[in-house]
Amino acid sequence: MQKVYLDNAATTQIREEVIQRMHEALGAHYGNPSSTHSFGRTAKTEVEQARKTIAKMMNAHPSEIIFTSGGTEADNMILRCAVRDLGVKTIITTKIEHHAVLHTAEELEKEYGIQLQFVELDMEGNPEMGHLEALLKQDDSKKLVSLMHVNNEIGNIIDIEHIGRLCSENGALFHSDTVQSVGHYPWDVTKTPIDFFTAAAHKFHGPKGIGFAFIRKNSGLKPLIFGGSQERGYRAGTEPFHNIVGLEEAFVKAYENLEEESKVVKELKAYFVEKIKLELPEVEFNGLSDDLERSTYTLANVRLPFDKQKALMLLFHLDMKGIACSKGSACQSGSNMGSHVLREILTAEELEKPSIRFSFSKYNTKEELDYTIGVLKEFAAG
């Protein structure tokens, strides 16, 4: 039995260079970055260097990078503080956002009585720009638009520049959950009209438990977590120094090797799409995930031609064959509700068939994809 990891949208294998950097940090630099002695100053210097490195590579200011425990915390912080501190009365989003955004917005609606509005989706799962513009112009309330750059389940890529311009023209703030795109696509905050976005290191071969929020200078946001004055006062608590330098290393390596490594992964996805269509002609793709231009190169979400009874055993069968993949976001794996994303874009009949998300990285091979498709074909014939 082979071992094949095709769940990279959930988390990725850590680069060896990142492990080495973190190992050095854990062994040699154990001072508290907030301490004033030499041990603390050394750690603080490394934390601030990481902040400067990440900011420089995105044309941001170091003060605009706030380290968090990951994308979920960063999304929560931005949405909550925008309502609490900036007077946001309306949040505009879609029903296929990550639950870090959806559930936060729903709670804010209960707690603060804000208006929660959803942009209509087209048949492929993209937000309707005309409807978004209409919502922005509907009234004079202070608005925050929150739309994810790359959908974590179906891989659709939104036109983030167009949305940013619409928000700017209509006096709305713009936040994007960019957890699936930071580390995989280039970022220049001087060219993208956006107020806030989020990242998580474990999505681009870094450690879990660390990420960052981009918060545009002079935003007016205040702390969500109170205590010390760490992270420019935005987020109290001793900095996880080893994770921060791991994030920095993963971020630098992701962008130093972006052209070469993205080419490899794009070729893997193209091969997978072509091969599975050939071997299982009845297969369908959810969203735009077989479109190599309009969806991310890191994943494909396939709907397989199996009946409901057979579908119940599919993930178990793949796991028994050593293949790691998923039905959707790992964050909702404990739920029996299925994918909230697919419920919005598929018919009841289509939902009866099993949908599987296969997500790729530079560590995968065509041989692994051949094996996976072979297992699926064998299962279909069984």
Residue recorded with tokens 């082979």: 2
- Contact criterion met (CB below 8 Å) for 224 and 81: yes
Angle at 242 between CA 240 and CA 244, to 5 degrees: 65
- Contact criterion met (CB below 8 Å) for 147 and 195: no
**Residues facing 358 on adjacent strands:** 300
Alpha carbon 288 to its chain's center: 17
As a whole number of angstroms, the distance between CA 116 and CA 102 comes to 10
- Contact criterion met (CB below 8 Å) for 15 and 249: yes
- Contact criterion met (CB below 8 Å) for 245 and 22: yes
As a whole number of angstroms, the distance between CA 345 and CA 357 comes to 15
- Please state whether beta strands 65-68 and 211-215 pair in parallel, antiparallel, or not at all (unpaired): antiparallel
Q: Positive or negative, the Cα torsion across 265, 270, 271, 276?
A: positive
Reported in sequence order, the residue ranges of 134-226 that DSSP labels E, i.e. its strands, are: 143-146, 173-177, 196-200, 211-215
Q: Strand 284-285's sheet: what is its strand order? A: 284-285, 299-303, 355-359
Catalytic annotation on 331? yes
Active-site annotation holder among 81, 167, 325, 331: 331
Q: Which are the contacts of 316, defined by CB distance < 8 A and separation ≥ 6?
A: none
As a whole number of angstroms, the distance between CA 37 and CA 22 comes to 22
As a whole number of angstroms, the distance between CA 286 and CA 304 comes to 10
Q: What is the DSSP letter of 61?
A: -
Residue 127 DSSP SS3: strand
- Which amino acid makes up residue 161? E
The residues annotated as belonging to the active site are: 331
